[in-house]
Amino acid sequence: MGNIDLIFKIAGVGLLTAVLSTLLKEYKKEDYAILATLGGLTIVLFWVVQLLGNLFDQVKSVFKLF
């Protein structure tokens, strides 16, 4: 269940970032639009890195590597 929630969170962040970026571009604030996009990307990458860490821990425990 947790992975489905994460997929919805990532989709929500992507949707909010796209809307915010579009609005900022309409108001001629391209610099802020880029910063908003980078902020959304940073949040999602942080979640993905945490998931990869969990995956590596599970692989180590399954194969008893350390």
Each residue's pLDDT expressed in tens, for the chain with a length of 66 residues: 567 998 999 999 999 999 999 999 999 999 999 999 999 999 999 999 999 999 999 988 888 876
Q: Residues 6, 15, 42, 47: what is their CA dihedral angle, to the nearest 10 degrees?
A: 0
Indicate the number of domains in the chain.
1
Domain extent, residue 34, equals: 3-63
> Which among 35, 34, 43, 46 has a CA at the least distance from the CA of 14?
43
pLDDT for res 29: 94
Residue/partner pairs of 17-22 with CB below 8 Å, 24 or more apart = 17/41
